[in-house]
Every structure is written in C-alpha cells, then in structure tokens.
C-alpha cells in the first residue's frame, strides 16, 4: 500500500508530502506519525507541503490532528512551505490551524524546531551549531 | 417619403448655417471643443442624415441605410463623454437641429397642410431617435470609463514593497472590500514566497474607516500569511480607528498592532535579530549614516 515516507533526523521527524493527498493516505499518515513519535521518542515533527497544490477541509483537519496528536506525545509540529493558493483556500474554509506552527521553508522550520528544543532542554542548544 | 430628404438636401447649406447659430449658445463649449471641429462634425452628420432620409426608411435610424449616421453619432457622443460634456449638452447637439429643420419644412411645404404636418412629425420622431442614440452611447462610454478606472484602482493601489531583507510592507490606500482583499492577499502571499520574507507589515494609514468587514478581511490576510510561515504586523492605526475597533468589539488580540509604520519596522528588525546603531563620530540626527548590524 502507498505510504508517505517518514524520515528520522536526529530528534525530529521529517515528512515531505509530494503526491496528491487522498483521504486514505492522510489517515495512514496520521497513524504512522503517532507510531514513529512513540517508537523513536521524537521531539519535533516537520511537515513540508511545498509540493501540495490542492487542499480540502479533510487535509486541513489532518494537519491540525497531527499537530494535536504530536503535542499529546510531547513533540512540536511545524508545517513549512505552504503555497499561497493553499493558504487562501484554508482561510476561506475557515481553518486557521491555530495549534500549528508554520515556517517559510524547511531551513527556517528546522531553526524553529532547534530553537524550541533549546528552550526546553537547554543543553541541546549546542545542536543548532552543528 | 423622399420628400423630406429632398427638402433637406436642397436646403443643406441653409440648415447647417442656422443649426450652427442655434448651437452656439447651448452646445458650443469653447473650452472643450473648437468651432472648426464642431462645424466639421455638423457637416458630416447632416450629410449622413440626408443619406439616411433619402433611403427606404426615412424615420427608422436603426436600419442599414443609417449606419454611417449612427457610427458618426456614436463617435461624436463617445468623444464628448470623454471630454467632459454634460449629457444635456451632448443631446442638445442633435436636438438643436430641430428648429432649423422645421423652419425649412414650413417654408417649403406651406402650401399643403397635410404634407406639412406629416413632414414635421416624421422629422421630429427621427431627431428624437437620433438623440436617444447619442445619450445611450454617452452613457455607455461613461460606464466604460468608470469600470476601467475601477480596474486600474484595484491594480495600482496594492504595491508590496521590500523594506529590508526578509521584511515586506504593504501600504493599503482606500477601503478594503472583498475583491480588493483577494488581490491584496494574493499579491502579499506571492511576494512572501518570492522574497522569502518572514515579516510583513500591513500599513492601514490610508484606510479611511475600519469596520467589522474590513477587520475580517485583514484577519483573513494575516491568517493566510501565518499559515505560510510569515508574521504580520498591522501599523498605521489612527486614534479614531483604535476607538472604532474597541467600540465594535473586534478581536485583534492575536495580531501585533503598532501606531506607526516606523514602530512596526523597528519591531520586525528586533524580531529578526537586528538593531539600528549610529556610527560613532557621525553628526547627530543624520539618519543616513545609521547602519544596521546583526546581533551576534
């Protein structure tokens, strides 16, 4: 069955959505993310949706769900690279994704994750120099 | 009914001279149109009318024989609409032909009462129809001008400017309605992506009033920018607008607002880890010598 790959990058999970999302794929992704966070004890999830061009309320809810779920499991979620059209569509659908943090690209998203990790753990701040 | 056409073509010169005389007071606007041009227009129009009247349908200007006259009239009234004539001034151009025409008809047909009445009725109906064409074209031209200006306003009034590396400013001039919000939002988000900017300052100094609808449009834009990873700061909130926002109970608590664009810019610089310092030894108050340093 088709799956969206979840990569492990140190304490974080990196998810790049590069295909058109359909509902089954979204459900599967939610399950996988929850499973991986608990398996690997990740402290952050970065979802890159820069290739996502079509979005509906279900995908919007999936993003919000992943963020909420991750927070329960102790991980921060950053959504990066949202296209203007996708952002406008989500706002028009009334989904402002209040619990989700956002960044312009993967680079600044990673900075954001390292930044929060630094404030949480203090000692891990050295990582941002790597 | 080529009778009418005959009368007009026979007396063309006299009618035109008389027409010009009648026009002088009400139609001639020396500031907008020259006398030579006006004479030219009347001459052409009268010729076209003669051609129309001499055809099969002397009293129906929608027929094919009238196409020259119609086009001529449409051209004339369209150019008047652009030059700034009033609708009555434009209509009077055609209507002032009535008196000279009737005078000629009366002189030539004074022998027969029936013929006289018939010719008068036909020419009156004809001129009324022609003046209606004039007014319709006049209105259409005006509406065209208005809609073009609206479109221009929509495109011109939403520039997104780059203040610093990673900091954009969007000065909004005029009221935000749904269609403008759409244009503004798209423009801003596209520039955010293109310039990779983390901060966008929306300056509403030029927005005359902020009601619930405008605030909602602003919030939509800010939310969309946040979804993409850019932070918005609203600046240029005037005292009256601040009062209106509070009185209307609009919730802007999740949005950073500043009174001046300068304050918002300073905040954006600070948030991106920069500070403005003056070069030592430079004359005070000279803003040009100020340099920006990235905090280590």
Reported as half-sphere exposure (CB side, CA atoms, 13 A), residue A114 has a value of 14
| pLDDT for the residue numbered B207 | 86
Which residues are bridge partners to B173 per DSSP?
B206
A65 in B contact zone (CB under 8 Å):
no
**Is the pLDDT reported for residue A125 higher than 50?**
no
Does B13 fall in a domain?
yes
Do B146 and B59 belong together in one domain? yes
Residue carrying structure tokens 């295909």: A19
Q: What pLDDT score does B85 carry?
A: 83
Nearest Cβ partner of B227 from A90, A105, A108? Answer: A90
- For domain A6-129, give the CATH number: 3.30.750.24
Task: Name the pLDDT band for B153 (thresholds 50, 70, 90).
Answer: confident
pLDDT at residue number B260:
92
Q: Which among B151, B184, B218 is the end of a domain?
A: B151
Residues of B in Cβ contact (< 8 Å) with A102: 226-229
CB-neighbour burial class of residue B34 (10 A; exposed 0-12, middle 13-18, buried 19+): exposed
Mean pLDDT of B213-236: 91
Beta bridge mates, B234: B202, B257
CA-based nearest residue in chain A for residue B226: A102
What pLDDT sits at residue A128?
44
User: For B166-181, what is the mean pLDDT?
Assistant: 85
Give the pLDDT mean for A61-73. Answer: 91
Both B181 and B80 in a single domain? Answer: no
State how far residue B222 is from chain A, nearest Cα, in angstroms. 10
Asked if residue B115 and residue B76 are part of one domain, the reply reads yes
Chain B residue at shortest CA distance from A100: B227
| Of B151, B173, B208, the domain-final residue | B151
Q: How far is A57 from chain B (nearest CA, A)?
A: 14
Q: Domain segments of chain A: what residues? A: 6-129
Decide the pairing of beta strands A12-16 and A44-48.
parallel
List residues of chain B with CB under 8 Å from any CB of chain A: 185-186, 189-190, 192-193, 196-198, 220, 223-230
Least confident interval from A32-46, B18-32, B151-165, B264-278? B18-32
Q: Which of B118, B151, B184 is the last residue of a domain?
A: B151
Same domain, B249 and B267: yes
pLDDT, residue A35, reads 93
Tokens (6 digits) for B169: 């400013």
B224 with B285, same domain: the answer is yes
What are the chain A neighbours of B192 within 8 Å (beta carbons)? 84, 104
Kindly state whether residue B156 falls inside one of the protein's structural domains: no
Any CB–CB contact under 8 A between A49 and chain B?
no
Q: How confident is the model at residue B26 (pLDDT cuts 50, 70, 90)?
A: low
Q: How far apart are CA A126 and CA A17, in angstroms?
A: 30
- Say whether the ipTM exceeds 0.95: no
Q: Specify the higher pLDDT residue, B147 or B89.
A: B147
Residues linked to residue B292 through DSSP beta bridges, in sequence order: B276
Residues B118 and B36 in one domain: yes
Asked if the C-beta of A80 comes within 8 angstroms of chain B's C-beta atoms, the answer is yes
* CATH number of the domain encompassing residue B67: 1.10.490.10
Task: Report whether pLDDT(B287) > 70.
Answer: no
Q: Mapping DSSP to helix (H, G, I), strand (E, B) and coil, where does residue A71 land? A: helix
**Whole-number average pLDDT of chain B:** 83
List the domain range (segments joined by +) for residue B83: 2-151
Q: Do B196 and A82 touch (CB under 8 A)?
A: no
Instruction: Write out the DSSP string of A65-111.
Output: HHHHHHHHTT-EEEEE---HHHHHHHHHTT---TT-EEESSHHHHHH
Percent of chain A's residues with pLDDT above 90: 52
Q: pLDDT tens digits for B28-86?
A: 566 777 778 888 888 888 888 888 887 767 667 777 778 888 888 888 888 888 888 88
- Both B114 and B167 in a single domain? no
B196 and B248 co-located in one domain: yes
Distance of CA A44 to the CA centre of its chain: 8
Assign residue B217 the CATH number of its domain: 3.30.750.24
Residue B284 falls within a domain, yes or no? yes
Q: How many domains does chain B have?
A: 2
Q: Indicate the SS3 state at residue B265.
A: helix
Is residue A127 scored above 60 in pLDDT?
A: no
Domain check: are B181 and B109 in the same one? no
Checking phi first, is residue B164 left (phi over 0); if not, alpha (psi -120 to 50) or beta? beta
Please tell me the distance from the alpha carbon of residue B161 to that of residue B153, in angstroms, as a whole number: 18
| Cβ contact A84–B227 (<8 Å) | no
Same-domain status, B50 and B184: no
């Amino acid at each position: 069955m088709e799956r969206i790959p979840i990569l492990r990058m140190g304490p974080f999970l990196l998810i790049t959505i590069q295909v058109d999302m359909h509902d089954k794929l979204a459900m599967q992704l939610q399950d996988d993310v929850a499973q991986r966070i608990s398996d690997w004890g990740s402290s952050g999830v970065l979802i890159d949706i820069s290739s996502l061009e079509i979005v509906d309320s279900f995908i919007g809810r999936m993003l919000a769900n992943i963020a909420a779920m991750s927070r329960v499991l102790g991980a921060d979620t950053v959504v990066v690279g949202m296209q203007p059209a996708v952002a406008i569509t989500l706002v028009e659908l009334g989904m402002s994704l209040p619990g989700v943090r956002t960044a312009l690209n993967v680079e600044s998203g990673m900075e954001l994750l390292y930044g929060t990790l630094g404030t949480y753990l203090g000692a891990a701040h050295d990582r941002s120099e790597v | 009914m080529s009778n009418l056409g005959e009368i007009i073509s026979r007396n063309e010169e006299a009618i035109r001279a008389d027409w010009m005389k009648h026009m002088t007071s009400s139609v001639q606007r020396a500031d907008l149109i020259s006398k030579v041009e006006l004479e030219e227009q009347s001459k052409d129009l009268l010729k076209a009318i003669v051609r129309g009247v001499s055809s099969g349908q002397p009293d129906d200007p929608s027929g094919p024989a009238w196409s020259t006259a119609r086009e001529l009239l449409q051209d004339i009234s369209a150019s008047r609409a652009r030059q700034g004539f009033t609708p009555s001034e434009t209509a009077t151009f055609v209507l002032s032909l009535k008196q000279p025409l009737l005078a000629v008809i009366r002189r030539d047909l004074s022998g027969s009462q029936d013929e006289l009445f018939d010719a008068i009725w036909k020419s009156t109906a004809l001129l009324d129809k022609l003046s209606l064409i004039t007014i319709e074209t006049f209105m259409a031209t005006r509406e065209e001008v208005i809609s073009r200006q609206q479109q221009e306003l929509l495109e011109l009034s939403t520039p997104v400017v780059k203040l610093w590396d990673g900091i954009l400013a969007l000065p909004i001039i005029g009221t935000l309605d749904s269609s403008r919000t759409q244009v503004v939002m798209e423009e801003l988000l596209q520039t955010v992506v293109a310039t990779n900017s983390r901060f966008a300052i929306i300056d509403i100094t030029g927005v005359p009033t902020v009601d619930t609808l405008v605030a909602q449009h602003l919030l939509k834009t800010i939310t969309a920018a946040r979804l993409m990873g850019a932070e918005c700061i609203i600046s240029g909130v005037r005292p009256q607008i601040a009062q209106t926002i509070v009185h209307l109970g609009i919730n802007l608590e999740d949005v950073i607002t500043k009174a001046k664009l300068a304050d918002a810019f300073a905040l954006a610089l600070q948030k991106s880890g920069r500070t403005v310092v003056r070069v030592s030894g430079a004359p005070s108050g000279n803003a040009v010598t100020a340099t920006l340093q990235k905090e280590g």
